[in-house]
Chains A and B, each alone.
Chain A
């Protein structure tokens, strides 16, 4: 019996492999399991290759998992295109389409002997039972129900609901295809049973959503009333959610003529007094930089969600990467601090986006949320979130007294000035991209510029003391350490548990606040550290370099970085920790042995 299963399935665009993954995840949630599903596509719009990974577990899932327990290949060409995204090992059961005419001992996986390989006449079974090969994905779901014990009832319940409008005939055809798959599995039991154990939380309500929808829902919860943006993969769904929902809350959304107009409208809406946001991805972030500079100097709250993909330029539009870190931290010219936050999962995207709005409003600043393609597009099962625990912060408005002779950029003790907005009697002022005196009037003065730069940067000092924006797990005094953020953090959380199970004395820091760099938090964390890894999915080790700009990292701390679309597996991280541990032990050998 298993407590955790990772499925990886690939086929052509029309095979419905992603929709099968959706059905499997929903069925698993209905049966009380936790799960994560990631999708990966070629860049073709139709046809081309598509794949998904579905990880199902009896305990909360931290990441999409490492090597596959179950690989499903509807054809090998498509499966192989995903390479490291669908890693097969000696513990994987491989199920593939018999019509590929490849013998079970000759499947094209180099250098690996899977646990078991099974050719299944999937297309033929679909044709025979449902009258069309389009039911292949339903046959696959039947096979999974039969072999792994997930969704025997729930899968068809979901499919019935989904197809209800399309008529009984289609539903029954799918039922026959599903039953055929399940019967095949029953008739050909696995060498070793891989049934998943029943969940103890069956019957509990579960939510299922992805990071993009979650960030839009969080924004509306935080009081966001305006979205301006432009379609770009993989962030577009944020705008789509707004176009479905925000009107209901008296807000509006503008699909602008370009990336600049999208953020421009959001800047305008913020000036007009409303919480506003935009969302984009790499190339769009580059285009939005000038407006971010404007929002910084005009001290206007604004949230920018950047769903990272492989860069530079068009790069890898459908694959995840963390290489926008520098671009986010140092976006736009001039001396400026723009806070950068990063969620690590769909679940905590809710909290982080609310936090982004709170920080934007409190500090009157643009805030960048660095999501990534994996978090944005992956679906997670979630336990219901108690929304009453979240505090919503609104910008500081001028009092009636302050509106007598109002001074928009008034110097205050905490460098934050009450902000008015059009419609407010007595609050008129000039917002501008040009340097200004306290009233807002333009100036060329170097001394005013110095003072205003002080105001605009010092106001962030308290942000760096926010301990709740850093998660530290493991032994606080451990000599071995990891730092990871974004979707990579989930992999490292699992690696931490694995390393601890092996007896390693190690700890992990997950920063939700990436910029400004909170020197104090890191210095405290690294005080006990002799060896460590700064782990990110960038080619240039951007996180390591950003930290080095601000902190004297211990000598034994190194980057562990790789380019996008080459996901880290928990096992990779543990292996790297082993290496560090042996280095650490070697460096102490002299202390343990008598000197000659």
Chain B
């Protein structure tokens, strides 16, 4: 199967039989549809895909695909994903989860996957709330937001996921939303095709605990296509400038794509393995390393 893709697979080939636990109307239904479409467009067979998540409503998503899924522990999708990628660089590795999973409990990992340029696509379903635990403050909740753990309003500034990953030097940074399903599928596809760490922030409304302004209607009102705006995705500083408007505007599309992608960590590993393989003692003689002559 070529990475350039064929039309051999249809979106339905990536859909599993499990029925999502999500609330009716949840934005994540659209996200999983977008992923099916993106995977079909890329054309890798399901068994060559590993899809890892942490814990949260959105982290149920691997189970709704026909890929090898791993619904792991809270905040640790990325460490597990990078182990999978290093163990078998030929796999297509996706990671996904919510804003709490990615930017709170697991917030320490993203920077390092970016630094290593792990060839992994990371999709965060950002809904500014903890939904699975029934409505607590999340790292992307607006300051002043009233939730069941912030009865008098949040006293914290939210994390800006886009600026965060741009600042760490991610080679591919994009944003999508169920307000534009076709655009989301195309953006995720582009992220998967990018050779290196790719980040897609999806504004995915929580219908149960989300605020009115963050529902589809509200999001539509503040959405703007980066392509239509004439944004040049090779311009990292312009991307950072636009990313500052996170929370006020919802820019959709690619903020930044490194026009000259550096080698991935996997490329460097392969290079090193090839370079050193000729020096290997046969395994059964490995203890010869300890002979003192």
Q: List A residues at the B interface (Cβ < 8 Å).
A: 26, 29-30, 205-209, 213-214, 217, 220-221, 223, 225-226, 228, 245, 247-252, 254, 256-258, 260-262, 264-274, 276, 290-291, 293-294, 298, 350, 382, 384-385, 387-388, 421-434, 441-442
Contacts and interface: CB of A to CB of B under 8 A. Distances in A.
Interface in B272-290: 272-273, 275-277, 279-281, 283-287, 289-290
A272 B72 contact: no
A273 B88 CA distance: 8
Contacts of A247: 269, 272-273, 275-277
Contact of A226 (B71, B87, B112, B286): B87
B88 A291 contact: no
Nearest to A426: B47
Contacts of B273: 247-248, 250-252
Nearest to A390: B284
B70 interface: yes
A26 to B, nearest CB: 5
A382 B289 CA distance: 13
A428 B66 contact: yes
Of the candidates A422, A423, A424, A430, the one having the most CB atoms from chain B within 10 angstroms of its own CB is A422
A268 B109 CA distance: 15
A355 to B, nearest CB: 16
A26 B292 contact: yes
B129 interface: no
Nearest to B289: A217
A385 B48 CA distance: 40
A265 B82 contact: yes
A263 B55 CA distance: 17
Nearest to B110: A257
A220 B277 CA distance: 14
Interface string B26-63: 00000000000000000001111110100100001011
B65 to A, nearest CB: 9
A382 B288 CA distance: 11
Interface residues of B, number: 56
Q: Interface SS of chain A: helix, strand, loop or mixed?
A: mixed
Contact of B269 (A221, A252, A261): A252
Of the candidates A29, A245, A426, A430, the one having the most CB atoms from chain B within 10 angstroms of its own CB is A430
A50 to B, nearest CB: 22
B67 interface: yes
B83 A209 contact: no
Contacts of A350: 287
Contact of A208 (B84, B272, B290): B290
B234 interface: no
Contact of B286 (A217, A431, A434): A217
Give the 3 A-B residue pairs with the shortest CB-CB distance, closest first. A268-B83, A264-B79, A265-B83
A250 B70 CA distance: 25
A257 B108 contact: yes
Nearest to B76: A264
B83 A228 contact: yes
A221 B286 CA distance: 7
B91 A423 contact: yes
A60 to B, nearest CB: 16
A423 B87 contact: no
Given A207-B291, A272-B87, A433-B71, 6 more contacts: A248-B280, A268-B83, A271-B70, A291-B76, A385-B287, A422-B47
B79 to A, nearest CB: 3
Contacts of A387: 284-287
A429 B66 CA distance: 8
Contacts, number: 197
28 contacts: A26-B292, A205-B291, A207-B292, A217-B287, A228-B79, A247-B273, A248-B279, A249-B277, A257-B108, A261-B82, A268-B52, A268-B81, A268-B82, A269-B86, A269-B87, A272-B88, A294-B73, A298-B70, A387-B284, A387-B286, A422-B49, A423-B88, A428-B67, A429-B68, A430-B69, A431-B68, A431-B72, A433-B71
B112 A268 contact: no
B60 to A, nearest CB: 8
Contacts of A245: 286, 289
B3 interface: no
B47 A423 contact: yes
B18 interface: yes
A254 B83 contact: yes
A245 B79 CA distance: 23
B86 A265 contact: yes
B82 A254 contact: yes
A596 to B, nearest CB: 67
Contacts of A268: 52, 70, 79-87
A434 B290 contact: no
B112 A257 contact: yes
B235 interface: no
A274 B87 contact: yes
B109 A261 contact: yes
Contacts of A434: 71
A189 to B, nearest CB: 31
B90 interface: yes
A260 B72 CA distance: 13
Nearest to A265: B83
A258 B72 contact: no
Nearest to A217: B286
Of the candidates A225, A272, A298, A441, the one having the most CB atoms from chain B within 10 angstroms of its own CB is A272
A220 B49 contact: no
B71 A430 contact: yes
Contact of B283 (A249, A269, A430): A249
Of the candidates B63, B80, B109, B284, the one having the most CB atoms from chain A within 10 angstroms of its own CB is B80
A216 B192 CA distance: 35
A214 B46 CA distance: 40
A272 B85 CA distance: 8
B52 to A, nearest CB: 7
Of the candidates B45, B52, B272, B291, the one having the most CB atoms from chain A within 10 angstroms of its own CB is B291
Contacts of B60: 442
B79 A256 contact: yes
Nearest to A207: B290
B48 A423 contact: yes
A434 B279 CA distance: 43
